[in-house]
Amino acid sequence: MLKVPDHQVAGHPAGNGVLGPLIDDSGNFYKPLQSGERGSREVAFYISFSSNIKIPDRIRKFFPIYHGTKLVEASDGSGLQPHLVLEDVVSNRLNPSIMDIKIGSRTWYPQASEDYILKCLKKDRETTSLPLGFRISGLQIYGSKESGVWKPDKKSLKNFTKDVRLVLRKFVSSNLFEDSSTEPDCSFAPTVYGGSTGILAQLLELKAWFEDQTIFHFNSCSVLMVFEKESIGKVMSSSATVKLVDFAHVVEGNGVIDHNFLGGLCSLIKFISEILADLTL
C-alpha cells in the first residue's frame, strides 16, 4: 500500500491532485520520474553510480540505494506513472529532525536552457546560494511529545533561512519553541554535529572524496541531514545520518573536479565547525 510520506521537507509534496513522492511499508521511496531529460538523466546517474567500481563503499553509504524504476499509481490520480524506487532514508525514524541543504553557488547545469539558467540564477542571488555556496531548502525539527514538530512553510522558511547560522544552531537545540529572542542552546550539537560518527565527521569524509573525484558534477543536489533526539538520551548517540539526494542535474565530470559542489560543502563544514568551536570557549 503506497502512501504520502510524513517527513518530506523539500520539493513538491503529494496530495490534492499534485504529483509527488510516495512510500510503502517496506522502506521504499517512490519518486516520480521527471519528464524529459531530467528524468532520464537521474536514471542514468543511478545506473552509472550503482555499477561504477571506482566508487568506494565508504562513499556509497551516503547515497540512497537504487532499486530501479517501476510503474505505480501516481499521487495526482493520473494512473500508472514511472517512478524511481529508492531507499526511504527516514523509514526507520519515528520523530526525525531533517534539514535539506542544496549545495553549490550555482544550481544550474551548463547544458540547461537560457530560461532555466536565468530562473536558477535569480533564486541563487535571492538566497544564500551565491554568497555562501549553499542554501537551506527544507526543514523539520522535532521538539518533544508536547511541542511536536516545527515545519515552516515555504514563505516562512525563505525568511528564516537568511540567517543559516541561526538555523544550524536551532536544528540541534532543546529550546526551539521558546521566545525568538532566546539564544539557541545547541545542547545536542556535541552529539549530532560532533564525535567520530557525527554529521561533521561524515561531511569531512564526503569532502575528502570530492577533493579527488572527477566522475560526476553534482549540480543542484542536496545534502540531507537527519537525526532523532530520543535516541540521544537512550544511548548517547543521535544516529545522525548524512545522505545526498536529487540527481536530475548531474552530468559527467570528464576528469574535472566538481569545484561548485566542493566549495559549497566546505562552506557548510565551516559553519558547523564554528558552532562546535563556540561550545568549547
Q: Confirm if 89 and 29 have CB atoms less than 8 A apart.
A: yes
Of 16-20, 142-146, 167-171, 212-216, give the lowest mean pLDDT range.
16-20
Higher-pLDDT residue of 231 and 42 is 42
CATH architecture classification, 96-279: 2-Layer Sandwich (3.30)
Whether pLDDT at 15 is above 80: no
Of 8-17, 36-45, 121-130, 204-213, give the lowest mean pLDDT range.
8-17
Whether pLDDT at 138 is above 80: yes
Q: For position 269, what pLDDT does the model report?
A: 98
Overall average pLDDT of the 159-184 stretch? 84
Give the number of other CB atoms < 10 A from CB of residue 161: 21
Q: For position 132, what pLDDT does the model report?
A: 94
Domain-wise residue ranges, the chain: 22-87, 96-279
Q: Which residues pair with 73 in a beta bridge?
A: 80
Q: For position 165, what pLDDT does the model report?
A: 93
Whether pLDDT at 199 is above 60: yes
pLDDT in tens, 146-159: 777 888 777 777 77
Q: How far apart are CA 200 and CA 197, in angstroms?
A: 8
Q: First-to-last CA distance in the chain?
A: 51
Q: How far apart are CA 175 and CA 202, in angstroms?
A: 26
C-alpha distances out from residue 178 to 149, 163, 190, Å = 14, 18, 21
Overall average pLDDT of the 63-75 stretch? 93
- In which band, very low, low, confident or very high, does the pLDDT at 225 lie, cut at 50, 70 and 90? very high
Region for 82 from its dihedrals, namely left if φ exceeds 0, alpha if ψ lies in -120 to 50, beta otherwise:
beta
Q: For position 77, what pLDDT does the model report?
A: 83
Q: For position 231, what pLDDT does the model report?
A: 67
Whether pLDDT at 109 is above 90: no
- In which band, very low, low, confident or very high, does the pLDDT at 108 lie, cut at 50, 70 and 90? confident
Q: For position 252, what pLDDT does the model report?
A: 93
Q: Which helix (H) or strand (E) holds 119?
A: helix 114-126
What is the model's pTM?
A: 0.92
Let me know if 216 is exposed, middle or buried by CB neighbors in 10 A (0-12, 13-18, 19+). Answer: buried
pLDDT exceeding 90 applies to what percent of the chain? 61
Overall average pLDDT of the 110-118 stretch? 88
Sorted by sequence, the CB contacts under 8 Å of residue 146 that are 6+ apart come out as: none
Whether pLDDT at 18 is above 80: no
Averaged pLDDT score across all residues of the chain:
89
Q: For position 76, what pLDDT does the model report?
A: 82
- In which band, very low, low, confident or very high, does the pLDDT at 16 lie, cut at 50, 70 and 90? low
